[in-house]
């Protein structure tokens, strides 16, 4: 009788160990090598943008700024094309959010005007320099404000990736600059 009890305990421990290893492997397979990402509450012209309130939606998060001469317009134009390619029902479950890495110049009103040029449902959001720094670090994005020129203008070098947050609020993918619209649509639709 004692022998069967020990075998039962050993089998139970083996099952628990195997389950723990499978769960750990599944979590690693879901987001291998991705930064942690994170929740945020930033400001837009329409009010607060709270990532927790957007659970259930796929978020396409892009770090950029409105005075960017080339990369931001190209990336946001591509994002606008992706939004247009989605059905209305799909688009209701997707948000493209441009987070300004230049909060000193990018007011919420200017962000709204700028993002609307690419798609009327695109959201431009900003926060304090400290909020933007912490959030970009959490997503693995980087940016560096360059010294101002004689006329006072400056540029901000920044990461060109788009960060895809799944409906569960977890970072699901990082899409590099130049990812085709078909690839972005496939990633989005997989998560819907």
Indicate if 145 and 100 belong to the same structural domain: yes
* Together in a domain, 117 and 184: yes
Per the structure, the complete domain to which residue 13 belongs is given by 1-30
In this structure, are 13 and 52 located in the same domain?
no
Is the model more confident about 1 or about 115? 115
Question: Residue 4 pLDDT more than 80?
Answer: no
* Domain annotation covers residue 35: no
Mean pLDDT of the chain: 86
CATH number at residue 94: 3.40.30.10
Regarding whether 185 and 93 lie in a shared domain, the answer is: yes
The tokens describing 147, both together, are 């010294």
Q: What is the mean pLDDT of the segment spanning 109-126?
A: 97
Residue 10 sits in the same domain as residue 72? no
Average pLDDT score over residue span 5-11: 38
Both 71 and 24 in one domain: the answer is no
Q: What pTM does this model have?
A: 0.82
Q: Are residues 24 and 63 in the same domain?
A: no
User: In total, how many domains does the chain have?
Assistant: 2
**Core vs surface per residue 135-172: b (16+ CB within 10 A) or e:** bbebbbbebeeeeeeeeeeebbebbbbbbbbbbebebb
Local confidence band at 33 (pLDDT 50, 70, 90 cut-offs): confident
- Checking if the pLDDT of 13 tops 60, the result is no
- 172 or 33, greater pLDDT: 172
In whole angstroms, what is the distance from residue 99 CA to residue 51 CA?
12
Residue 36 lies in a domain: no
**What does each C-alpha distance from 14 to 8, 24, 155 come to in angstroms?**
10, 15, 58
Distance CA 183, CA 119 (A): 19
Q: What does the pLDDT read at residue 29?
A: 34
Q: Which residues, other chains included, contact 183 with Cβ-Cβ below 8 Å and sequence gap of 6+?
A: 175
pLDDT in tens, 35-80: 889 999 999 999 999 999 999 999 999 999 999 999 999 999 999 9
141 within some domain:
yes
């Amino acid at each position: 009788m004692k022998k069967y009890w020990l075998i039962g305990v050993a089998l139970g421990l083996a099952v628990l160990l195997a389950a723990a290893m499978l769960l750990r492997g599944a979590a690693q397979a879901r987001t291998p090598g991705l930064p942690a990402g994170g929740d945020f509450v930033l400001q837009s012209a329409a009010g607060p943008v709270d990532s927790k309130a957007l659970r259930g939606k796929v978020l396409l998060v892009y770090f950029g700024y409105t005075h960017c001469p080339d990369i931001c317009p190209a990336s946001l134009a591509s994002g606008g094309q992706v939004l247009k390619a989605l059905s209305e029902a799909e688009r209701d479950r997707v948000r493209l959010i441009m987070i300004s890495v230049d909060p000193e110049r990018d007011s919420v009103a200017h962000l709204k005007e700028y993002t609307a040029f690419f798609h009327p449902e695109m959201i431009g959001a900003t926060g304090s320099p400290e909020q933007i720094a912490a959030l970009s670090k959490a997503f693995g994005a980087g940016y560096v404000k360059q010294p101002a020129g004689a006329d006072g203008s400056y540029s901000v070098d920044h990461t060109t990736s788009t960060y895809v947050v799944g409906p569960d609020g977890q970072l699901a993918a990082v899409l590099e600059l130049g990812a085709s619209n078909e690839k972005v649509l496939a990633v989005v639709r997989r998560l819907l």
